[in-house]
Chain A
């Protein structure tokens, strides 16, 4: 059993954990629940030796322990899948999995064959159909997440901490992960599981602990608590996310795609996006569902002008034919993409909260078109910090120091501030808690009511049902369904997502 006893952790003036207590039981899935910035990741980082300075005790199997490093924790049998992806982009999957624990022969030479074989088995286990030599930077976020899971499994740890392991993967991979978790708990391993997808917790978790503002609010057996009670414990209020049932208010076409194709860069005979045609109307929200590898992200990227040389087909913006050679062209035409990978595509982690929020709209924040008006910048970021309840010590805090969900909110704020004509959202609420999610849905719908067209890609069916007027489903690069939201159900969406010709 792994126990945190009266742990307090301060970061230069910010108290992240305040006298917190938590137990992780062996053979159980221990859910840790709380709003963005509640302190979940911070506590997990203490368990796994990332943060070494704190007050209070960590007790592991009856002994007080103090890890000096992640290596230390790993040797004691504690492995962690971090919320933020931590893979080295220009190394291969194998090299990443074996980083720091390479297998060598007697002369210190790497035994590549052995490592490659083991990686193959691990990838098979997590259901990732890629060659072990594939370089990480070529992988989509969800695939990277599976590599992180494989990496943690490879350590053979007693305690496995999963900090939002499913934020970027789709239902199929989630089911697969749950099978792995079952196997682990059957062998009496301890699982700590953090997720903002509450239905996952009700499906898999045995125990829960709720954190709020760095303190423990409650703990117990999952079977003794209902969904609504849990939300109320976590947020301190009731939150309802309702299904959208409305059709779009207008049928004035905004963005039209005709036979959009995108070639596979590795294999020119193969299409990642295949003959996609669709029309987005003014004020309409289209939800795009699909499993991993369905080509949803690639479709968004193609619209946004990121693959000019590999794509074909026609694109009309407000009935005018367009050919985007770069994102700058697309932005000029009024199309913005909120990318799925906040760390590598969304944020400048070293810049402040304010600078990140304002960067897309500096044109509007200038004085006499010469210099920036700090008052306007402050006002704009203040508005978004309040509206999205971004938890930050100040506007001058570096984004790097925010919790994962709060970083994601900055990503949203940054592009919502720009008020485009068409907004492409790729997994917009990755890692955001239920309360903030409902606020964000409200905001997006308000913007749509004013004429904004939105295409939202999401792996969460409830999110699509809450936001969209129309639901599209993709499978292997093709559109397999296009229906009003009233006709969409969880089961027919899944069927279309698996639909193969």
Chain B
């Protein structure tokens, strides 16, 4: 029937999957040559620790982008949930009308913050699916709203001194590896499992690929989207907890423009902004590339202004290379 020479199409796909890994290795080699401080396990762990937050957010962003959407509110959700963790931990919750005071353990505060992130995301999804508001607009509005609530809750002041136990999350290590890295790895594993191995994951790709066809296939498009935005919210909350813990303080200005770094990681990782194509692994690579680049530029004493220029150029380059790979017939 068909003349098939081995499985070329598979090979190119596999190559594409490793494209960002190759880029990352190349970047590492260059930096190792240029700076003698770069290649050490200490610096490596340092990079990973700094990247962990972006990995968490970008993983949620990947799910959203795979459905063909976008979430601009993650930076603000991060700040609000970080503040909520700190506030609940330190001051608990007072219900004045009922005269009730609820104190929170570390675990309780964390779960509450994740629930808040989940609910905000769910609200995003609800607005997007129920009222047909474009995701860009809905989450742009949420970016401001959540930031506003953060300011209201914190009164614009940092909430600090959160206790030794809580600080372990952001600053501690387990088996020699920073705790944030363990957390990010867990988030990534869960998301990768969902996208690659479950019904929900398949529906996410189908909706991003062709929403009408998904609807005709009997997929409950609204439900899937709501879950996806909720997950993105919860993952942003996890990022918020890590940031707060690392600084031992919730900053009302935390997470500003983090959504851009997350989107950059997703795009560098080869996920199509129009949805339906991409992987969580790619995003992890993308986030690490950004992290390594940041780290390398600092080690090389590049001025902060030039750092921004270089970072932007790398994003462009990565995407152009990705597109060139697509073009070939």
B218 touches A327 (CB 8 A): yes
B1 touches A391 (CB 8 A): yes
B8 adjacent to chain A (CB < 8 Å): yes
B4 touches A362 (CB 8 A): no
A65 adjacent to chain B (CB < 8 Å): no
Which residues of B sit under 8 angstroms from A362, Cβ to Cβ?
199, 202-203
Q: Which of B44-52, B117-125, B208-216 is the contact stretch?
A: B208-216
A344 to B211, CA, bound (A): 9
Chain A residue nearest to B276 in the complex (CB)? A350
Chain A residue nearest to B4 in the complex (CB)? A393
Tell me, rounded to whole Å, the shortest Cβ–Cβ distance linking B225 to chain A: 14
A395 to B6, CA, bound (A): 14
B198 touches A396 (CB 8 A): no
For A, the interface residue count at a CB cutoff of 8 angstroms equals 42
A366 to B277, CA, bound (A): 23
Which residues of A sit under 8 angstroms from B193, Cβ to Cβ?
371
A396 touches B10 (CB 8 A): yes
A226 adjacent to chain B (CB < 8 Å): no
B210 touches A347 (CB 8 A): yes
A348 to B276, CA, bound (A): 8
Q: Which of A10-18, A116-124, A175-183, A473-481 is the contact stretch?
A: A10-18
A359 adjacent to chain B (CB < 8 Å): yes
Which residues of A sit under 8 angstroms from B13, Cβ to Cβ?
396
Q: Kindly identify which residue among B8, B12, B197, B210 contacts A344, using a CB–CB cutoff of 8 Å.
A: B210
A109 adjacent to chain B (CB < 8 Å): no
A372 touches B209 (CB 8 A): no
A8 to B219, CA, bound (A): 42
B7 touches A372 (CB 8 A): no
Which residues of B sit under 8 angstroms from A203, Cβ to Cβ?
none
A360 touches B217 (CB 8 A): yes
A366 to B3, CA, bound (A): 34
Which residues of B sit under 8 angstroms from A339, Cβ to Cβ?
216
A141 to B214, CA, bound (A): 19
A14 to B3, CA, bound (A): 6
A404 to B198, CA, bound (A): 30
Once A13-B7, A349-B209 are accepted as A-B contacts, the answer to whether A327 and B276 lie under 8 Å apart by CB is no
Which residues of A sit under 8 angstroms from B43, Cβ to Cβ?
none
Which residues of A sit under 8 angstroms from B6, Cβ to Cβ?
13
- 1/0 contact string of B1-45 vs chain A (CB within 8 Å): 111111111101100000000000000000000000000000000
A12 touches B209 (CB 8 A): no
B4 touches A13 (CB 8 A): yes
B91 adjacent to chain A (CB < 8 Å): no
Q: Kindly identify which residue among B205, B206, B218 contacts A328, using a CB–CB cutoff of 8 Å.
A: B218
- 1/0 contact string of B142-164 vs chain A (CB within 8 Å): 00000000000000000000000
B9 touches A394 (CB 8 A): yes
B205 touches A351 (CB 8 A): yes
B257 adjacent to chain A (CB < 8 Å): no
Chain A residue nearest to B211 in the complex (CB)? A348
For B, the interface residue count at a CB cutoff of 8 angstroms equals 35
A174-220 at interface with B (beta carbon < 8 Å): 213
A453 adjacent to chain B (CB < 8 Å): no
A371 to B202, CA, bound (A): 11
A372 touches B276 (CB 8 A): no
Tell me, rounded to whole Å, the shortest Cβ–Cβ distance linking A109 to chain B: 31
B197 touches A372 (CB 8 A): yes
B173 adjacent to chain A (CB < 8 Å): no
Which residues of A sit under 8 angstroms from B217, Cβ to Cβ?
359-360, 414
B308 adjacent to chain A (CB < 8 Å): no
A149 adjacent to chain B (CB < 8 Å): no
Once A15-B2, A348-B210 are accepted as A-B contacts, the answer to whether A363 and B199 lie under 8 Å apart by CB is yes
A414 to B210, CA, bound (A): 15
A372 to B12, CA, bound (A): 25
Which residues of A sit under 8 angstroms from B99, Cβ to Cβ?
none
Which residues of B sit under 8 angstroms from A18, Cβ to Cβ?
3
Once A12-B12, A13-B8, A391-B1 are accepted as A-B contacts, the answer to whether A344 and B212 lie under 8 Å apart by CB is yes
- 1/0 contact string of B85-99 vs chain A (CB within 8 Å): 000000000000000
Instruction: In the A-B complex, list the 5 residue pairs whose CB atoms are closest, starting with the nearest.
Output: A348-B209, A13-B8, A331-B218, A371-B197, A15-B3
Given contacts A328-B218, A348-B214, A397-B9, 13 further A-B contacts (CB under 8 A): A12-B328, A15-B2, A328-B220, A344-B210, A345-B213, A348-B205, A349-B209, A355-B205, A363-B199, A393-B2, A396-B7, A396-B9, A418-B218
Residues of A within 8 A of B (CB): 11-15, 18, 51, 53, 213, 326-328, 331, 336-337, 339, 344-351, 355, 358-360, 362-363, 366, 370-372, 391, 393-394, 396-397, 401, 414, 418
Residues of B within 8 A of A (CB): 1-10, 12-13, 193, 197-199, 202-203, 205-206, 209-210, 212-220, 276-277, 328-329
A sample of 29 inter-chain contacts (CB < 8 A) reads A11-B329, A12-B8, A13-B6, A13-B9, A15-B2, A15-B3, A326-B215, A327-B215, A328-B218, A345-B212, A346-B216, A348-B206, A348-B209, A348-B214, A348-B276, A351-B206, A355-B202, A358-B202, A359-B214, A359-B217, A360-B218, A362-B203, A371-B197, A371-B198, A372-B198, A393-B9, A394-B10, A396-B13, A397-B9
